Chain A
Amino acid sequence: MKMRKVKIRKSISRIILYLLVTFIVIWTLAPFTWLFLSGLFPHKELLSDRATNWFPENPTFKNFQVMFDIKSHIGQRFMYAFRNSLIISGSVTIICLIFGTLAAYALARLAFPFKNNIVMSLISIRMIPTVALVIPFFVIIRTFDYFFININSSFHFYDTKINLIILYVTFILGFVIWIMRGFFLTIPHELEEAARIDGCTRIQALTKIILPLSAPGLVATGIFTFLLAWDEFVLALVFTKTTNSITVPVFITSLGSQYIHAFDQIAASGFIASLPPIVLALLFQKFLIKGLTAGSTKG
């Protein structure tokens, strides 16, 4: 009798568990699925009554195709924005990884004065919001650009990719140093000492022992950096104007207006724009979760 009661209780708690899991899955997937579905609606059907029309009657991939069509105005802008975002995020990732890894190694392994102060100020600096830096940035860059005009140089910062790369590197670099330092701290000292006794220099120990061992950390940090740069909005909003430098977030924000509904285009371009980060996150999820926990809970 008692056994049966326990069994019933157990199966009830299983059912509740599965209901909760279903809720989590729907909660997570429903909005994004709706984004994809909206991209399939032809423009005419988009504004139909939702209570009855959840699926397009004549589903079409035209909204997605037009984004890759270099001959249409919107497709051209999107392809340029996509290319700019790839170039900017890629360069930022490479630059941050090189400088960040070197600095992180020094902070994790070498003994020198003011070390703790430097670590503390790095982590504090990376917290300063870009929205608080955008005004001084704007004034400085405006001053620089007027200076270039005065000396008749064609070089300028505003609306260039280089400008965004420089600005992005600075607000992401502190973060990279912090996470990589965490990874380096988890690698046992003894390995490096053994290599040094065998006659390696410090740099050799770094390239032959430490870097291969922290490859997962490098991958995770690289992806974080890429995602942060891909995601950035405020600086791109202020410092870009033309297809020369607009990024995907700025492009997506510029679609539609008070008077024009462009949610078919927004849905399609938004879906395409979220594919690179989502694919990266899913492919490297093991590294990412390690990086998340290493970077934000333990030093």
Chain B
Amino acid sequence: MNIKRQEISSKQLAWVLLSPSILIILCVVIGPLVFALYLSFFKAEPIIGGISTKFIGISNYIYYFFKDPLFWSSVRITAYFTIVSLILELILGIGFALVLNKSFIGRGLVRSIILLPWALPTVVNARMWEWIYAGSSFGALNGLMKVLHIFPVDYDKVWLGFDVPLQNVPIIGQIMEWLGASTALNMIILADTWKVTPLVTLLVLAALQTIPEDYYEAAGIDGANAWKQFWSITFPLLRPVLLVVLVLRTMELFRVFDIIYILMQYSIRVVGVYTFETGMKFLHFGRGSALSFLVGLFILGIALIYVKLLYSEETY
């Protein structure tokens, strides 16, 4: 009797505790998302005193998939941004973590310092790099290139320019152009990587610290060199954390908006920027909603993979 009463109260308590959060999330996330789906079947524009709507069925989706070249080019640019950033972040993040996992004087201090880019607000990061990349003699990167004698004294590169990297290499140049790669995009990737690498480093470092020392000692006795040790011990043991980082970062890179919008406004159209431009600059709410819904759906798909990953690791 007593046990049964307890069970009921536990269930009730759970709903009491959960209901405020669920209510908030239902009203302000699920609601608008469903509303975006609804709005995407309309031609919706602002008029004085409200918003005019006209039902047009799935025309907005047909427009994006079959008629709008900008949509597919924005998908390609976003894919380029995501993949190149991921590769850079993972290489740098793992490299830094391997170095910081060794013992050296001042290790604690260096581990604190590395938090700095991560804590820096995204907007400050964007404007800081905008200033570093300034394309005249007062730009810090141009200055650095001259100090290092990589550039001649009278040469200034426009870092945030639209020239395609490797344009003169036959096939690669054409692929780059097709993807929508530009020097500006590459420099933005570098700036974003600078900010995010610490996160990858810290996550990998935490995983590295759980690997017992004896594994390496045993491998050393067997005559395995550092390179072999990395691929046969470290890498397999890092795999779970790397998978999580991979999926988490893919999601966040795919929705990039802030840094690209601040540095280039609408001239590099990644999916996030294109959505914002359609909805908030041209005020095509219906069409923008269709795009929003597609982006949301895509990210939810990756999120489900992420959740599955976390669950397969979890031990109760």
Contact indicator A20/B276 (Cβ below 8 Å) = no
Contact indicator B244/A131 (Cβ below 8 Å) = no
Contact indicator A129/B132 (Cβ below 8 Å) = no
Contact indicator A135/B24 (Cβ below 8 Å) = no
CB distance from A152 to the nearest CB of B (A): 15
Q: Mark A264-277, 1 if CB is under 8 A from B, else 0.
A: 00110011011001
User: CA A282 – CA B118 in complex, angstroms?
Assistant: 11
Q: A49-B143, A50-B140, A127-B300 are in contact. Are A298 and B313 (CB under 8 A)?
A: yes
Query: Which residues on B sit within 8 Å (CB–CB) of A107?
Result: 18
- Indicate if B288 sits at the interface (CB-CB under 8 A): yes
Contact indicator B24/A299 (Cβ below 8 Å) = no
Contact indicator B35/A136 (Cβ below 8 Å) = yes
- Indicate if B258 sits at the interface (CB-CB under 8 A): yes
Query: Which residues on B sit within 8 Å (CB–CB) of A296?
Result: 203, 244, 248
Binds B, one of A64-72, A154-162, A164-172, A209-217: A164-172
Which residue of B15, B112, B127, B139 has the most chain A CB atoms within 10 A of its CB atom? B127
CB distance from A132 to the nearest CB of B (A): 4
List B residues 227-269 near A (Cβ within 8 Å): 240-241, 244, 248, 251, 255, 257-258, 262
Q: Assign chain B's interface to a size class.
A: 35 or more
Contact indicator B33/A143 (Cβ below 8 Å) = no
Q: A136-B36, A266-B127 are in contact. Are A20 and B255 (CB under 8 A)?
A: no
Q: A106-B13, A118-B18, A136-B39 are in contact. Are A282 and B115 (CB under 8 A)?
A: yes
**Contact pick for A132, options B36, B244, B303, B307, CB 8 Å:** B36
Q: A31-B194, A110-B13, A111-B11 are in contact. Are A99 and B32 (CB under 8 A)?
A: no
Query: Which residues on B sit within 8 Å (CB–CB) of A177?
Result: 21
Which chain A residues have a beta carbon within 8 Å of chain B's beta carbons?
A: 17-18, 20-21, 24-25, 27-29, 31-32, 34-35, 38, 46-51, 54, 99-100, 102-103, 105-107, 110-113, 115, 118, 120, 122-125, 127-129, 131-140, 142-143, 146, 166-167, 169-171, 173-174, 177, 202, 227, 230-231, 233-234, 238, 248-249, 252-253, 255, 263, 266-267, 270-271, 273-274, 277-278, 280-282, 285, 288-289, 292-293, 296-299
CB distance from B205 to the nearest CB of A (A): 8
Contact indicator B49/A132 (Cβ below 8 Å) = no
Q: A129-B296, A227-B119, A289-B202 are in contact. Are A299 and B131 (CB under 8 A)?
A: no
**Contact pick for A170, options B29, B113, B262, B276, CB 8 Å:** B29
User: CA A293 – CA B207 in complex, angstroms?
Assistant: 9
Query: Which residues on A sit within 8 Å (CB–CB) of B87?
Result: none
Q: Mark B265-304, 1 if CB is under 8 A from A, else 0.
A: 0000000100110011000010011001101100110111
- Indicate if B142 sits at the interface (CB-CB under 8 A): yes
Contact indicator B110/A24 (Cβ below 8 Å) = yes
CB distance from A278 to the nearest CB of B (A): 5
Query: Which residues on A sit within 8 Å (CB–CB) of B110?
Result: 21, 24-25
Contact indicator B121/A248 (Cβ below 8 Å) = yes
User: CA A159 – CA B199 in complex, angstroms?
Assistant: 33
Q: Mark B96-111, 1 if CB is under 8 A from A, else 0.
A: 1001101010100011
Contact indicator B262/A99 (Cβ below 8 Å) = no
Contact indicator B122/A135 (Cβ below 8 Å) = no
**Contact pick for B10, options A112, A140, A234, A248, CB 8 Å:** A112
Q: Mark B127-150, 1 if CB is under 8 A from A, else 0.
A: 111011010111110111011000
Which residue of chain B lies nearest to A206 when distances are taken between CB atoms in the complex? B17
Contact indicator B255/A270 (Cβ below 8 Å) = no
Query: Which residues on A sit within 8 Å (CB–CB) of B115?
Result: 278, 281-282, 285, 288
User: CA A56 – CA B65 in complex, angstroms?
Assistant: 54
CB distance from A27 to the nearest CB of B (A): 8
User: CA A249 – CA B209 in complex, angstroms?
Assistant: 36
- Indicate if B314 sits at the interface (CB-CB under 8 A): yes
Contact indicator B292/A293 (Cβ below 8 Å) = no
Q: Mark B188-211, 1 if CB is under 8 A from A, else 0.
A: 000000100011001100110000
Q: Mark B141-174, 1 if CB is under 8 A from A, else 0.
A: 0111011000001000000000000000000000
Contact indicator A120/B307 (Cβ below 8 Å) = yes
Which residue of chain A lies nearest to B27 when distances are taken between CB atoms in the complex? A170
- Indicate if B224 sits at the interface (CB-CB under 8 A): no
User: CA A255 – CA B25 in complex, angstroms?
Assistant: 34
Query: Which residues on A sit within 8 Å (CB–CB) of B66?
Result: none
Query: Which residues on B sit within 8 Å (CB–CB) of A202?
Result: 9-10, 13
Q: A233-B122, A234-B257 are in contact. Are A31 and B272 (CB under 8 A)?
A: no
Which residue of A50, A110, A115, A270 has the most chain B CB atoms within 10 A of its CB atom? A50
User: CA A127 – CA B33 in complex, angstroms?
Assistant: 13
